[in-house]
Amino acid sequence: MRLLARTVLVATFAASPLAAQTFPVDDSVLRQIWSQGMDSSQTWPLAQALMDSIGPRLTGSPGLRAGQQWLRAMYDRWGIPARTEAYGTWRGWRRGVTHIDLVQPRVRSLEGMTLAWSPGTKGKVEAGTVILPDLPDSAAYQQWLPQAKGRFVLVSYAQPTCRPDSSYKQFALPDNFDRMVKERAAARDAWTARLKRTGLSVNDLSVALARAGAKGIVSNFWSQGWGVDKIFGTRNDLAPSVDISCEDYGLVYRMTAQGQNPVLRLEAEAEPLGEVPVANVIAYIKGSEKPDEYVMLSAHFDSWDGSSGATDNGTGTVAMLEAMRILRQVYPNPKRTILVGHWSGEEQGLNGSRAFAADHPEIVAGLQALFNQDNGTGRIQNISMQGLTGAGAQFAGWLSSIPTELTSEIKLALPGQPGTGGTDNASFICYGAPAFGLGSLNWEYGTYTWHTNRDTFDKVVFDELKSNATLIAMLVYRASEDPQQTPRIQRVMPPKDGQAQNWPTCAAPARASSESTR
């Protein structure tokens, strides 16, 4: 906490206001929100503490619990009541260090890490490598499985180049680029067919190899950018599953294919913790006139743990946290109750927010608006009305009083389509409640930071993060003050592929890891 306080002074001194803003209406609260959010932003120290010191927040991990304790401490400091609300259990796991090296026929330290929930090695393990073979059917694979014993099995397609297509497009002759793309597509399709012929899903294949005595399962999930991999999890709890970089995977794969007998050494620390309690963090500012109506801020707090969980969804978390700080200072007696949900289990199927919506029908029924943000560090540009035909005019009214510096690029999708599961507002819109996703500018999110090993603090664009937090605080204020309730009239759903479509149904949350379908 002392380190955070020192950083606040530096960040506040370094901040510079945007050009003089124009307020469409003379509203002292909006002016104070601007001053707090744009001239005295706390987004930098909040993000630094969360992303650097606490780090990733995998569901069921000690990192998630530490982060939730930090959230509650911050709200307590600001005088905002907050609670941890349990909704079930999940597979607990603590990550340790991963070291993986090529030790024969030459020495090279490889870039890699175990997948979430992978077992460790209990010391150093050395073994040769084998590529999952190309066999005609599942019976042939069953006969081959004993040959995996005592070896690291390579189970991913080896990219012909780890140079992104953007680089090829810039420098290669067009015919050469086109040929590379076609050859790569054909080889990738052939590898996909190879996996399909095993008769097993990716998870089941990993388990089968482990049961056959494989020393480990080695994979690569290249994100198609320079040095970037997606890092997910495994259900295999028998042998370590490790992702190594596109470049290093290609190296080991080629050496194996050419009979050069590479040997890998792996040391992976991991500790399974059994089923552990999981929870959301909920904070609120009580409404003074309509306490049973709610304006809600929403962002998932959990992350994958291949990196720091910075833009997925540390930035959404910090935007909501900062908005609550601002509102507590300048709007301490809102007309409607202001709630914030910091959800757990989003990456496993929106489990935290789905559980909250199911457990609190009174809040869903009294919801004036929910604002959810979950797609990176960029400034907010797109907001869908989620299929609610009367919401557009109301939303436009809220935006009309906010300075154009924050709203000039925003496009409203009218009436839009209700979300079906991509992020947490889908847990509420399925009930017909006005729950809106705040879509951000891309900033190469899908390639470089979404679920990758490069989702780190330095990728945060703080000018845009503080603008988002300020905009969200203003939207919450305007929605709270609005004398009219947000209409819930649902659009007629358009047909899809010639078939009639209905409003999405609300999925039941998985309240234990054994209930997960992912």
Tens of pLDDT, residue by residue over 419-434, are 999 999 999 999 999 9
Name the E strands within 306-440: 336-343, 367-372, 380-384, 411-413, 435-440
Element (H, E) at 110: strand 108-110
pLDDT at 351: 98
pLDDT at 443: 97
Beta bridge partners of 274: 92
Burial of 25 from C-beta contacts in 10 A (0-12 / 13-18 / 19+) = exposed
Element (H, E) at 109: strand 108-110
Give the three-class secondary structure for 178: helix
d(CA 136, CA 148): 17
- Model-level pTM greater than 0.75? yes
pLDDT at 12: 32
pLDDT less than 70: residues of the chain: 1-20
Give the three-class secondary structure for 429: helix
Specify the residue for token string 């009541």: 81
> Domains in the chain, ordered, with CATH?
27-81+286-351+367-418+431-491 (3.40.630.10), 93-274 (3.50.30.30)
Burial of 471 from C-beta contacts in 10 A (0-12 / 13-18 / 19+) = buried
Task: Single out the residue of 340, 368, 402 nearest to residue 480, CA to CA.
Answer: 368
